Amino acid sequence: MVTALELIDVEGVEALSLRRLAQALDRSAMALYRHAENKGDLLDGVVELLLEQVVLDADAPAWQDELRRVAHRFRGLALEHPNAVPLLLARSLSTPLGLRPLGMLRPLEAFLQLANRAGLDDAAAVAACRSFFGLLHGHVLDELQGVVAYPEERDDLLRLGLHRLPLGEFPRMRSLASAMSAYDGAAQLDRLLEALLVSLAADLPPSG
């Protein structure tokens, strides 16, 4: 499982085949079927391995801080394993909620418990959960988009490959090349979180 992740990290998701993995483990390809029923099971295993590393503490005293912490931890994980991000985000698109491996559900459960303790009612907790993870996944997805086309170039326009774009149709993108290069993902995530937390606070009973 951990070898599978390493393989993905250095060669990308599509380079992970049963034969390549078996070779890396000095086993035959078929031996892998003793530990996973499918290739899919194997990918789920990788996802679980990653998610184990981002534990949401349902008993955290300050829930806003805990959400910020977990969000940044998740982002960090994505930056460490960019090749695994498609897995992380897309595995659950194909698997119904109740049939997912438990490791993929633990963050959800912990969030819901936290929301509960923070005072949200059922409907608000579900909405908050989807807001939070939607936001998080969306941010990570966008931050990791391959932006740089030619890393060795010094000029921003050339580095991003934006010089290829027709002048007439894409004036803004071309003129914003350097603003795009200066993008700060962590700050951006903070902005999004702040907006979310404000909107969540509005759902709390007025007590405070």
Partner DNA sequence: GTGCGTTCATGTACAGCGTACACATACAGT
Partner DNA sequence: ACTGTATGTGTACGCTGTACATGAACGCAC
Residues that bind DNA (CB under 7 A): 16-20, 22, 27-31, 33-35, 38-40
Report d(CA 69, CA 75) in Å as an integer: 10
User: Using the rule CB under 8 A, is 76 a contact of a copy of itself?
Assistant: no
Q: What is the 3-state secondary structure (H, E, C) of 50-102?
A: HHCCCCCCCCCCCHHHHHHHHHHHHHHHHHHCHHHHHHHHHHHHHCCHHHCCH
Nearest approach in angstroms of CB 28 to DNA is 3
Question: SS3 for 4?
Answer: helix
DSSP letter assigned to residue 133: H
- Residue 64: name its binding partner from a copy of itself, DNA, none (Cβ under 5 to 8 Å by kind): none
- Residue 60: name its binding partner from DNA, a copy of itself, none (Cβ under 5 to 8 Å by kind): none
Nearest approach in angstroms of CB 102 to a copy of itself is 7
Report d(CA 53, CA 33) in Å as an integer: 26
- Residue 35: name its binding partner from DNA, a copy of itself, none (Cβ under 5 to 8 Å by kind): DNA
Nearest approach in angstroms of CB 105 to a copy of itself is 7
Nearest approach in angstroms of CB 147 to DNA is 24
- Give the per-residue contact string, 103-142, with a copy of itself (x = CB under 8 A; - = no): --xx-xx--xx--x-----xx-xxx--xx-xxxxxxx-xx
Q: Report the sign of the C-alpha dihedral through residues 35, 6, 28, 40, in that order.
A: positive
Rounded to whole angstroms, what are the CA distances from 71 to 21, 136, 160, 162, 188? Answer: 31, 7, 28, 31, 12
- Residue 93: name its binding partner from DNA, a copy of itself, none (Cβ under 5 to 8 Å by kind): a copy of itself
Nearest approach in angstroms of CB 12 to DNA is 12
- Nearest alpha carbon to residue 3 among 14, 16, 154: 16
| Interface stretch with a copy of itself, choices 19-27, 28-36, 40-48, 161-169 (CB under 8 A) | 161-169
